[in-house]
Amino acid sequence: MIWQHSRLALLANVFLAAATVSASAQTVTPTPAASDPCAPAMQSVCVTQWVPQNYTTTVTVYKTVCVPETFTAYKTVCVPQTCTRVCTVYKTVPHVQTVVRTVCVPTPCVETRMVMKTIVTCKPVTTVTRKCVDMGHYECRQVPCRMGCLAKLCNKCCGCDCCCVPMKTVRVWCPNKVWVETPCTKMVRCRECVPCPVQVTVCKMVPKQITCQVCCYQCVPQQITQTYTVMVAKCVPYQCTRMVAKCVPCQQTVTCCRMVPCTVVKQVPCYTSCCNVCCTPCCNVCCKKCRRCR
């Protein structure tokens, strides 16, 4: 039962889709199937389809072409121009003028100044001289005499040492060194600086008023007319040529594609009413539920 309801819903959807393909679809009388009484009935439907078609045509296109163009340009040119103006100038004019000036005149004068004078003097200076003096004395001493060669040979021959040694008396100096200090006074020359007043003649600068003639310069204004040339900037037109890009139309043959409508006959299942379904013996239950045949 559920399968029959699903099949009916699928058939209704297919019918609605076939009906909306083209508004000019033509409906043909349905032909029911002979073998299966529950199979859906098929019908022929005329459907309009769009088919691509290539064709050759001539179109107008625009190409960018560089074209020479003449235009008027302006340039700045400096042109000399003569002008006149009145100016005030100052000239230096000399003139003599009497003025009183203060000058410093050197004047000699005598001044007393203290100077340091060098004086040579003799002064006594006492010095002590140390001297080492030998304060010894002579003494008489007994010393053995010097033996000759014969006396030495005699002693050796005798073989005894008890022979008397001859002695003699000699005078011997006994030293006694003593430091003796001797004072010595002598005159030494010394130089000393002593302040001494001295009369000195110097020149002092004394201010003094004097009258003199001085040449001075004075600026005097004067009006003069000057002619000068200036450069004036002016705009001058001139003709120039430039290349300008322009769009030019031209004819071109192209191959285009267009969609052409075409009528095609297709077989689609048709929708049957509930009453026709209920007439079959396999759909009694459906007829009882929908109750449209009663």
pLDDT (tens, 9 = 90+) of the chain, 294 residues, equals 444 454 555 555 555 555 544 444 444 444 444 455 566 778 888 888 888 888 898 988 888 889 899 999 999 999 999 999 998 999 998 989 899 989 999 999 999 999 898 988 888 989 888 888 888 888 888 888 776 665 566 555 555 555 567 788 888 888 888 888 888 888 888 888 899 999 999 898 999 999 989 888 889 999 999 999 999 999 999 999 999 888 889 888 988 888 888 888 888 887 655 444 444 444 444 444 444 444
Residue 19 domain flag: yes
Residue 37 domain flag: yes
- CA within 13 Å, CB half, 77: 10
Residue 258 domain flag: yes
- The helix or strand, by DSSP H or E, that contains position 157, with its residue range, turns out to be helix 149-158
Neighbours of 40 (CB within 10 A): 20
Structural domain of 267: 2-59+254-290
Count: domains in the chain = 1
Give the pLDDT score at 266.
Answer: 85
Residue 69 domain flag: no
Give the pLDDT score at 22.
Answer: 42
Q: What sign does the CA torsion over 110, 115, 119, 124 have?
A: positive
Residue 127 domain flag: no
Give the pLDDT score at 291.
Answer: 47
The span from the CA of 48 to the CA of 266, in Å, is 10
CA nearest to 131, candidates 179, 184, 185, 183: 179
CA 114 to chain CA centroid, Å, is: 72
Task: Compute the residue count for the chain.
Answer: 294
Residue 14 domain flag: yes
Residue 242 domain flag: no
Give the pLDDT score at 288.
Answer: 45
As given in the structure block, the two tokens for residue 121 are: 């003097």
Give the pLDDT score at 157.
Answer: 54
Residue 263 domain flag: yes
Say which residue the tokens 């005798």 belong to: 158
